[in-house]
Structure formats: structure tokens, C-alpha cells
Amino acid sequence: MRSESVNYGLVSIIMPSYNTELYIANSIRSVISQTYKNWELIIIDDCSSDGTIDIIKSFNDKRIKLLVNKKNSGAAISRNRGLKEACGKFIAFLDSDDMWNKNKLKIQLQFMKKYDYHFTYSDYRIQKNGIWLPYICTGPLKVNLRKLYNYCYFFTSTVIYEREYVGLIQIEDLKKNNDYAMWFQALRNVDAYRLPRCLSYYVKHEESISSGHKWKLIKWHYILYRKGLQKGPWISSMLTFNNLVHGIVKKVRYWRAVNEAQYGDIM
């Protein structure tokens, strides 16, 4: 049997969207072009005021499901809603300005089945303001809950997990680091394993919420531990400092120079 025809089960892809008319079409196309075809794309629009919804509706594919929030609620609430609506055996995530390699689902599901892993993440590459940065972002081969406290070693759009083993994730209303909060819930039940292939592409731009001053990122990390994980002020402060240290370590240890022969063809 050809690998393209193997059916591992339905994959539910969760995609929050808000005013991403410049990017979301490319994100959706990267899903439609997947060589693994058994998926549903659940897009939760958070009251976009631009042409995002019209672009989503322009795709004539019954596997794409559009949910529109009644009021602007943020990515955490949108992800919670999408996860409740998901029907898949597997859960994947793709932000509305990011992209996948066309073989992402096929390769990652094969990897999970081969080694009986229930939560995996892949390597990824970053595009910043239209320019590809000259490194691949990697991570540890295995991340457990204890290691996750040190740093969020994987990026949202690289993750696939098996819902039966992780359960339904629902997180606090965090405006930032809500994806990090999801992994704390998930890794209570399973460990995360790295697939050493670059299969996802993180698109950063000036208006992105990910773009911010370092002191703001420190504040959001503190809020994650304090509000999202219900830790005390002292513990939250210590965990925030620990995270900053391991963030520096990651850049030294887990960023690898691009091999253009292997990664020159981005998609």
C-alpha cells in the first residue's frame, strides 16, 4: 500500500484567526495541499474587522469549518472552542499566519505510529518580515512535564497529539502564552517527542502579537505561571527567571544553521 493512502484517522486542525487577511490564504492552502487527506480544519474567527472571513469562505472545501465568535475573546478562548468542536483522533494546530510542508501530516503521523508516540513536535524555520532566518529551530528529543517548566521547546504549529491519551484541553483566558499553557495540561498525561524534520514554518511580522519588547515577554511569562498555572508570586518569579535562562540556552544548543541543499525549497 502506498504511504499516501494509509489512513491513520481524522486529524482536527485548530486555527484561531483575527485580522490575518494578508496571511491566512497561504495557511489554508498549506493544509489543502497536504498529502494526507483525512483532516478537518476548524477555523475560529475572533471577530475580524478586515477581509479574513471572506477569504476563508472563498475556499470551497467541506473539510473547512468556520466558527465565528460572538465577541472578540482572544486566542485562548478561541482555541478552547475549537478543541471542543474537534472530532478527530488526532489534534494539530496551525496559526493563521503560519504554513506547513505538504508532507507534514503524513510524515508526523507515520512517526507517531512507528514509535507509539502520542504527542510529537517537529523542527521549524522562521520567516521574519518576509526574510527566512538562516537557522532551523530544534529541541530536545524528549520533553516531559518537568522539562517543560524550563522552557517551551516546541512551537504550536509543529504539534500533533492523540486526543485519547491527552484528553480535552481547556485553558485559562491568557492573552499570551496560551499555547504554552496547553502543553502543561497535555504533558500531565504524556511525554512529547521530537521529530527531527523541518515541517512547519513560523511567519513573524511587525503586527504579530509575538513581536514585542523583552520586558513584555517577561511579564507574560510571569502571568502564565501566576494565573495559568496558579503558582504563588515567589514561585512564579523564580520560574520566569529560570525560563529566561533556558531561553538563552536554547538559542545556543537548539538553533542549527540551515543546510540550503536540504531546506532551500521551503515548501
Q: For 169-197, how does the pLDDT look when each residue is reduced to its tens digit (9 = 90+)?
A: 998 877 777 888 899 999 999 999 999 99
**Separation of alpha carbons 228 and 187, rounded Å:** 15
Q: In this structure, how many other beta carbons lie within 10 angstroms of the beta carbon of residue 173? A: 13
Q: Is 161 exposed, middle or buried (0-12, 13-18, 19+ CB in 10 A)?
A: buried
Q: Report whether 133 contacts 126 (CB < 8 A).
A: yes
Mean pLDDT, residues 254-263: 66
The region that residue 214 occupies, defined by phi over 0 for left and psi between -120 and 50 for alpha, beta otherwise, is alpha
| pLDDT tens, residue by residue, 94-133 | 999 999 999 999 999 999 999 999 999 999 999 888 888 9
| pLDDT tens, residue by residue, 75-88 | 889 999 999 999 99
Give the C-alpha distances (Å, rounded to integers) separating 109 from 120, 200, 214: 9, 14, 36
Joined grid coordinates for residue 266: 521551503
pLDDT band at 52 (very low <50, low <70, confident <90, very high): very high
pLDDT at 243 over 80: no
Q: Is 193 exposed, middle or buried (0-12, 13-18, 19+ CB in 10 A)?
A: middle
Joined grid coordinates for residue 153: 521547546
pLDDT band at 262 (very low <50, low <70, confident <90, very high): low
Q: In this structure, how many other beta carbons lie within 10 angstroms of the beta carbon of residue 255? A: 14
pLDDT score at 228: 72
148 or 253: which carries more pLDDT confidence?
A: 148
User: Which has the closest alpha carbon to 7: 32, 30, 35?
Assistant: 35
pLDDT band at 260 (very low <50, low <70, confident <90, very high): low
pLDDT band at 234 (very low <50, low <70, confident <90, very high): confident
pLDDT score at 214: 61
**Separation of alpha carbons 114 and 200, rounded Å:** 21
Q: What is the mean pLDDT of the chain?
A: 88
Cell 474567527 found at: 45
**Separation of alpha carbons 37 and 6, rounded Å:** 10
Cell 492573552 found at: 175
pLDDT band at 267 (very low <50, low <70, confident <90, very high): low
**Separation of alpha carbons 101 and 89, rounded Å:** 21
Written as one letter, the residue type at 225 is Y
Q: In this structure, how many other beta carbons lie within 10 angstroms of the beta carbon of residue 174? A: 20
Terminus-to-terminus CA distance in the chain, angstroms? 25
